[in-house]
Structure 1
């Protein structure tokens, strides 16, 4: 794969100007157009020679023999990694994000963040969150028979989840009440992730007054809910993808179909949890969007303990305004992190 060191200074400048022009217009860029750019001071003939060399390196492509050039996905990756100048959200954009954030519960806040991102970027926005990140209101155990009980948990949003648990042999009926009382004291107002760490530390330090059988029930109950907490997906602004796409409706329809594959999209966002900061997936770099040739710009957000608990981002054509979208996604992720504390 071509690297910046494979290109001389003049070729880098022409390549940079070409990609920036393409991202602005969405059209293949010709040598005469490039020669009029302020950053280019060579003749159209020289530009054509450079474009031919860059095409041989796999960085540019010509959709038609008589047309100008446009960057390939490989070329866009080289540009994003080595040449992109990323700015900051404007004061107006920050004001929009700041004023509309923080209203309602966690789910309402995430839905608002998705709406703000799609509105500001004019693209589709996606947010992945774990249902287990909602603060818990109440938990109880309902015994079904000697071997099974139903664990019922209610979060602060009013949603109810049930889990069937196998009971430790010989567990007395009073243990169900003791376990529920203990867990409610630990869970109320906390997420399952937070409560699980607290309970495990408490049991490990042997601070709990529960007997062994009740302790085993507590461990089974909270582990079952934490493992089954599930992932939820919020998608907003798909209609934005239709703007200006009259000549490429087949690609947009393919992108709509890809956005409907929720498990694939969740897995993609899960990959963005790894590492720090904004992650960028361009076209075929991710199998989900290989057919439509779309890009995803995503960033993780964190809870009050700085643990990554979800991911938000923007989906659109590879011809994204990366320099503007990246800081907007990054700022929104930071804003959601502040709101989660």
Structure 2
């Protein structure tokens, strides 16, 4: 379930080393502080800790341990004379080394499966992914995120329509019924027959292929001079495919669902400011898409916490995401949730993992 790339291996090693520095008493106190924070969002003091621990320790002894944990950067005091809360480093250590990840309930499993399967029978892939993001948002009470390659859609037809003044409209129709338009430059005075020939050439070669696959096949034919096209027609074909492919961010579609859930647990002005900054992060789609792109290199669920990433360093947010694959085991997208660092990680991690694997069975 957890990711196994080089970054994860390093973090797992660091977590193990960090935990080895803590004796049983320190580990129990640290674990209790984090679990209290995840459950309530509140700092916990030495007196309450001493009552909750499975061992007998005075508040003074607990304070000494808390001071040591604070010195190594695992907890902090949000206010003077307040209790302690975990830092982002502490949360990472807890998740990588102490968190006991359970499984989603049978009821949740059935709900996810029936909703996605029902949606797949009625809608195209992107709509199914949107519903999956909305469902994850509802179950986790966070915002749901889905990043998918536009080029993973199977193509049906491409047409070029002259607009005059050295421009043409490229119309792309996908097998799922989606239609997208792009304007591309063409030589002035280009005859209509050239656009028709370009459309016919592409359409005879794209059946069952994605945009990326079509581009590789057709450009290879043109480069190897196997395409029976005159120079102008070949130029239209090449420019059209390049316009459709765009840069890396243009080839991806980002779906954000359920932002309103992020306002449900706002208790103070600092919480409201955190959510405002998170909304700004969500609006900065380019940065977010780059971050989600990192998850595409992982094998399974990946977790980003607060200041570990520049994008979330101000908003105090956590991101739990997992890539999903097509039937050829090629990663074609990422889905998950984003919310405050105080999340029910033990419940949401398996939920995201299960949904990603289920989506993978539906991607052609």
Partners of 2:276 and 2:202 in 1: CA distance: 48
Task: Tell me how far 1:59 sits from its aligned partner.
Answer: 0.6
- Counterparts of 2:278 and 2:166, CA distance in 1: 49
1:129-170 CA deviation, whole Å, 9 max, x = no partner? Answer: 233333322112346789876533223434232242557xxx
State how far apart, in whole Å, the 1-side matches of 2:192 and 2:99 are: 64
Gaps of 5+ in 2: 1-13
- Could you tell me which residue of structure 1 aligns to residue 255 of structure 2? 234
Whole-Å separation in 2 of the counterparts to 1:312 and 1:288? 18
**1:151/1:165 contact within 8 Å kept:** no
2:241 is aligned to 222
CA-to-partner distance for each residue in 1:39-77, whole Å, 9 max, x for gaps? Answer: 445443332221110000011101233221110111111
Aligned to 2:7: none
Query: Any unmatched runs of 5+ in structure 1?
Result: none
Change (3 A) 1:123 1:149: closer
SS in 2 for 1:239: helix
| Higher mean C-alpha deviation, range 216-225 or range 290-299 | 216-225
Once the two structures are TM-superposed, the CA of residue 98 in structure 1 deviates from its matched residue by: 0.6
Q: 1:221 to 1:68 in 2, by over 3 A?
A: same
Distance 1:161 1:148, change over 3 A: closer
**CA-to-aligned-CA distance 1:154-208 (integer Å, 9 cap, x gap):** 23434232242557xxx997665454334223324442134335546777898x6
Which of these residues, 327, 335, 346, is aligned with residue 312 of structure 1?
335
Question: Equivalent residue for 1:336?
Answer: 359
- In the alignment, structure 1 residue 210 sits paired with structure 2 residue 231: no
Normalising by structure 1, we get a TM-score of 0.86
5 Å-filtered alignment, 1:1-341, equals 3-37=18-52, 39-102=54-117, 103=119, 104-142=123-161, 150-155=169-174, 156-164=176-184, 176-199=195-218, 210-211=228-229, 213=231, 218-227=237-246, 229-247=250-268, 248-341=271-364
Question: What is the aligned length?
Answer: 339
Distance in 2 of aligned mates of 1:178 and 1:301: 38
Cα 1:83–1:198 shift into 2, 3 Å: farther
Q: Which moved more, 1:152-161 or 1:329-338?
A: 152-161
Aligned-residue offset at 1:12: 1.8
Distance 1:146 1:113 in 2: 44
- Distance in 1 between residues matched to 2:102 and 2:74, nearest whole Å: 24
Deviations 1:303-335 (A, max 9, x none): 233222222121111111111111111111112
Q: CA deviation at 1:117?
A: 0.4
Q: C-alpha separation between the residues in 2 aligned to 1:276 and 1:297?
A: 13
- Answer yes or no: is the 8 Å Cα contact 2:182–2:243 preserved in 1: no
CA spacing shift, 1:173–1:38, aligned 2, 3 Å: same
CA drift of 1:277 comes to: 1.6
RMSD, matched Cα: 3.0
Deviation, 1:269, is 1.7
| Contact 2:158–2:173, Cα closer than 8 Å, also in 1 | yes
Instruction: Name the counterpart of 2:5.
Output: none
**Counterpart secondary structure, 2:147:** strand
Do 2:37 and 2:342's aligned partners in 1 also have CA atoms closer than 8 Å? yes
